[in-house]
Chain A
């Protein structure tokens, strides 16, 4: 297939993997902690697995020749993703670290988050300067998470803070120490499905109850983002932290217009409940929140999608992502092909470059 040449691409959702979970992190754990984790070196999987070969969400054909899981070899990913699609920067976020949300123990989660970060800083950022890291934090202990942000957030390879969420909405001031540190260092906070939703006591709950299949839980991911974005806007997170940005990765985006309008409509009616908002809530959302493209939404007619892009001000709010090496990854050449060229440039490069300070 002939493809339009694309000049510059930033990929805002790429997932590296540590072979063996905690086993692979051992070099980054003290001997005491290695001892503490002995016999339970695997992070738990959600019981509702993807109905794919191996019941894994990682593409089989992305397995590196060196062995190990897809996404575990920075050299292979460089060829298979960065070179092949001419990606200028890839933002790495560890969905494996998303499993920290399953841990009821704040000390363990904090120590593992630090180990994940040291692992990726040492073993990935050093391999290719096109790799940039969304460092992870254990939100179990926001004060410790803030310390971790201040410990490594200055590294110029670190461009965002991934928050594997517990079942607390993001507007809650519980998280404020994390926002304070992220804002101080100019790092956007990033949320992404952790893959633990609805499966563990501590992880995020789905509205209404517990889904019973993978297709079901995957379909309803957007509700998590909706609840959290609305919570942040209305609770005044962006009043308190006026320079904070939020990346909402892989939660879909065609729902955004509905919530822009619904927020404003309700604000006209119930403003007195949130008098700290200085203007209509949609403005905070458009100003502070960014959404990733993948999985590209397959509208009934292409023009529907274009209308939605316009409604959500995609030239400011949308950023391209592949989600490599997951089963449903998108490649730049096949994504948003019908969007106008200037908008594509914003989505594929400029919005993310501004967001992450990579311009």
Chain B
């Protein structure tokens, strides 16, 4: 099936730092505005189907070399499921650092004249 462009909302409806949860083409998705960059993901966690896009967005502890050492990174890249806390890269939908092979679907976002569209198959 071809990817189709679906209108979602006026861009101004999702200010910086905000998200919109909505249904497009019969699927619940979340659209995030992270400092002017938009990401769209399926609002279903691949673990146990929690509403993933209601989770917190932030950074995480990136892998370190030594016990007891912490390094916080990937600020604004990590979407954390509200249920069991699995962490996903908001840009790729992949679970982070090998915790799982499962990934959440992501959709390309397009903006035309203050209108926000996502591409879906």
Q: Which residues of A contact B (CB under 8 A)?
A: 173, 235-237, 239-240, 267-273, 275-280
Contacts and interface: CB of A to CB of B under 8 A. Distances in A.
B70 A275 contact: yes
Given A268-B86, A269-B86, A271-B99, A276 B66 contact: yes
B70 A270 contact: no
A196 B72 CA distance: 43
A269 B64 contact: no
Interface of B: 47, 60-71, 84-87, 95-100
B64 A275 contact: yes
Contact of A270 (B64, B69, B85, B97): B85
Contacts, number: 51
B98 A276 contact: no
Nearest to B80: A272
A235 B85 contact: no
A276 B60 contact: no
Given A276-B63, A276-B64, 12 more contacts: A239-B66, A240-B66, A268-B47, A268-B84, A268-B86, A268-B95, A269-B86, A270-B85, A273-B61, A275-B70, A276-B65, A280-B98
Nearest to A272: B61
A276 B67 contact: yes
A269 B68 contact: no
A268 B99 contact: yes
A139 B65 CA distance: 27
A275 B60 CA distance: 9
A269 B84 contact: yes
Contacts of A237: 67
Nearest to B96: A271
A80 B59 CA distance: 63
A340 to B, nearest CB: 30
A279 B98 contact: yes
A269 B67 contact: no
5 contacts: A237-B67, A240-B66, A268-B100, A276-B67, A279-B98
B102 to A, nearest CB: 10
B99 A276 contact: no
A239 B84 contact: no
B68 A275 contact: no
Contact of A236 (B66, B84, B95, B100): B66
A271 B88 CA distance: 12
B67 A235 contact: yes
A271 B97 contact: yes
Contacts of B86: 268-269
A278 B63 contact: yes
A173 B68 CA distance: 10
Nearest to A234: B67
Nearest to A176: B67
Contacts of A276: 63-69
Contacts of A280: 98-99
A236 B64 CA distance: 11
Contacts of B85: 269-270
**Central interface residue in B63, B67, B70, B99, by most chain A CB within 10 Å:** B67
Given A279-B98, A280-B98, A271 B66 contact: no
A275 B71 contact: yes
A337 B14 CA distance: 67
**Central interface residue in A239, A269, A272, A280, by most chain B CB within 10 Å:** A272
**Central interface residue in B85, B95, B96, by most chain A CB within 10 Å:** B85
A265 to B, nearest CB: 9
A237 B66 CA distance: 9
Nearest to B86: A268
